[in-house]
Amino acid sequence: MVLDLERFTVPRTGVLAVVGHNGSGKSTLLRLLALLETPTEGEVLFNGAVVPRRAPASLRRRVTLVEQRPILFRGTVRQNLEYGLQLRDVSRTAANGIIGHVVEELGLQTLLDRRRHELSDGEVQRVAVARALALRPDVLLLDEPASSADRAAAGALYRALLAERTARPFAVCIASHQLEDAYRWADDIRALAEGRLSPVTPENLFRVDLPAGDGVKSVRVGSVEIVVMTDRTGPAVLAVPPTDIFVSREPLPSSARNVLSGRVIAMAVEHRGAGVHVRVDIGGVELVAAVTAEAARDLALAPGNAVVFSFKATAVRVF
Amino acid sequence: MDFLAEGFRRAWGLLVAGDSEVYGIALLTLKVAVVATVVACATGLPLGYFLATRRFWGRRAALTVVNTALAFPTVVVGLLLYGLLSRRGPLGGLGWLYTWQAIVVGDVLLALPIAAALSAAAIQGVDPRIRRTAETLGAGPWRTAWTVAREARFALAAVITAAFGQVVAEIGAAMIVGGNIRGSTRTLTTSVALFTSQGDFGMALALGVVLLTLALVVNIALQLLQGRGGG
């Protein structure tokens, strides 16, 4: 994968998310940041100092990478957790304390004596995150840390990470193809596309504060009222999948609880001409809908035209 | 058929009686093979790791040379070494020709390509994530190499076994630079050849059995060293 970056900075504290599709160069970028590879051109700086080719172990020890599909060494989970601590000459008692802490944080108590072939992919991922967290690095790099986990497990993993960060601030850089995760857990987001930084396009994602109560609720996003169905309350991220939005020129009688009128700002051709992304301004809020090129032609969609976006309350995803 | 049976009977008799010549030859063979295997693996395994993990100019050429050396005929190695060690040769001053040290040198030259080429293949078979993970967890080059080697331990044990097998069964170099001198450089393979040509089939067979037993014992020992399996 070819990476072509003018400059990329991981802030000293805070959580930075790098989003992009598979093959966008995320993993390559993380390996460069982990000082495991050297760029063919340009240089990597750590705390302002240029990192030499073949970075010394003393420097590498301050940055730890958890790969997208992490691998465990031969031996038990406990031996894996001890590996990096032994390299740092951490005493046996201190190591046990640290391991006990991360094991509890990531819920690995029952796995300590297992070996790698006795673990699921999601468990391996959690052990790998724990193995990295135990080393208390200055920079923790996570490549799709929740790719093998279900949503609940992913949430638990991110919460453990944040808990660790409240105790001791350190830099975290997460690569993810899930924009929702990035929005929910990161302080800042960079997008990568084909090895280059690209503007983040947070399509139809909104940070909201959900009111109390069960079932259907209405939340304000800017000047727009969006109806959602959820039992969640408090801060959350709403996502309206662009493919779940009906586009029409006039309001249509339908079961959709959300019917929003606006004006087309831009049209972008996707999928080699087969699809069109219609970006619409609805009272100051931007929404994007995905339609086929054929539908866009039939509706005579063009910038400046008035359109109506409709979507069901159940189509709105809550994170 | 009688001839074969007679051979076995005589072999059994020699072994049970603890014939000093047979055991002397066996001990010398073991000494030469162990020293040569240790030297060849001590240099060949790190070389294999280096070839498998480092990217440098001429790496492919180096791998080709090592792989070609796998097929080096033992008599040719013996011949070249003879030229080097003979009194008028560049290493003649060592006075090693027709000594057990000369056989060790020849055997090392034969086992080194095996150790290097096969261990390079074994290390290349290890998941590249193992090395990256060791490095990102803070391991220096030595600890990283050890971690990677541990993942390939079965394959590497097979490499050591193969190197030992080459050394213990080799006859060409041992014959040429050792000289098959009774009581000093006579090894199991050279004596089997000698006794066969002399028509002493029983003695040859007895030594053949000893050779097989030796190989068996060393293999069992290596297997025990590997410990039990599992991830």
Would an 8 Å CB–CB cutoff place A25 in contact with chain B?
no
Whole-model pTM?
0.76
CA atoms within 13 A on the CB side of B136: 32
Topology classification of domain A205-318: OB fold (Dihydrolipoamide Acetyltransferase, E2P) (2.40.50)
Q: What is the CATH number of domain A14-198?
A: 3.40.50.300
Q: How many pairs of residues across A and B have Cβ atoms under 8 Å apart?
A: 58
Would an 8 Å CB–CB cutoff place B53 in contact with chain A?
no
Over residues A43-58, mean pLDDT: 90
A141: β partners: A65, A173
Q: What's the CA angle centered on A151, arms A148 and A157, to 5 degrees?
A: 75
The first and second tokens of residue A248, run together, are 């029409």
Place of tokens 């990531």: A106
Label the pairing between strands A234-239 and A246-248: unpaired
Answer yes or no: do B132 and A115 touch at CB < 8 A: no
Query: Looking at the partner chain, which of A34, A57, A132 has a beta carbon nearest the beta carbon of B140?
Result: A57
Other C-beta atoms closer than 10 Å to the C-beta of A113 total 10
Rg, Å, chain B Cα set: 20
Q: Do residues B203 and B19 lie in contact, with contact meaning Cβ atoms separated by under 8 Å?
A: no
The SS3 call for residue A91 is coil
Place of tokens 């979507």: A311
Q: Do residues A5 and A196 lie in contact, with contact meaning Cβ atoms separated by under 8 Å?
A: yes
Would an 8 Å CB–CB cutoff place A125 in contact with chain B?
no
Would an 8 Å CB–CB cutoff place B94 in contact with chain A?
no
User: Over the stretch B82-141, which tens digit does the pLDDT of each residue have?
Assistant: 999 998 889 988 889 999 999 999 999 999 999 999 999 999 999 999 999 999 999 999
User: Over the stretch B162-180, which tens digit does the pLDDT of each residue have?
Assistant: 999 999 999 989 999 998 8
- A133: nearest CA partner in chain B: B137
Q: Do residues B25 and B186 lie in contact, with contact meaning Cβ atoms separated by under 8 Å?
A: yes
Answer yes or no: do A57 and B147 touch at CB < 8 A: no
Domain boundaries, given as residue ranges, for chain A: 14-198, 205-318
User: Over the stretch B40-74, which tens digit does the pLDDT of each residue have?
Assistant: 999 999 999 999 998 889 999 999 999 999 888 99
Smallest Cα distance from A37 to chain B, Å: 10
Q: Do residues B34 and B103 lie in contact, with contact meaning Cβ atoms separated by under 8 Å?
A: no
Residues in A touching B138 (Cβ below 8 Å):
57, 60-61, 64, 84, 87-88, 135
Q: Do residues A125 and A148 lie in contact, with contact meaning Cβ atoms separated by under 8 Å?
A: yes
Q: Do residues A161 and A172 lie in contact, with contact meaning Cβ atoms separated by under 8 Å?
A: yes
Torsion of CA B152, B155, B158, B159, to 10 degrees: -80
Confidence at A176, pLDDT banded by 50, 70, 90: confident
Query: Looking at the partner chain, which of B129, B135, B138 has a beta carbon nearest the beta carbon of A71?
Result: B129
The terminus-to-terminus CA distance of chain B in angstroms comes to: 51
Q: What gap in Å lies between CA A275 and CA A267, rounded to an integer? A: 10
Give the mutation candidate from A31, A58, A61 for the B interface (greatest B CB count, under 10 A). A61
Answer yes or no: do A116 and B231 touch at CB < 8 A: yes
Would an 8 Å CB–CB cutoff place A131 in contact with chain B?
yes
Closest alpha carbon to B53 in B118, B126, B111: B126
Is it the case that residue A66 has pLDDT exceeding 70? yes
- Torsion region of B95: left, alpha or beta (phi above 0 gives left; psi -120 to 50 gives alpha): left
Q: What gap in Å lies between CA A102 and CA A180, rounded to an integer? A: 26
Domains of chain B and any CATH numbers:
2-226 (1.10.3720.10)
The SS3 call for residue B224 is helix
Is it the case that residue B230 has pLDDT exceeding 50? no
Over residues A216-232, mean pLDDT: 88
Answer yes or no: do B136 and A34 touch at CB < 8 A: yes
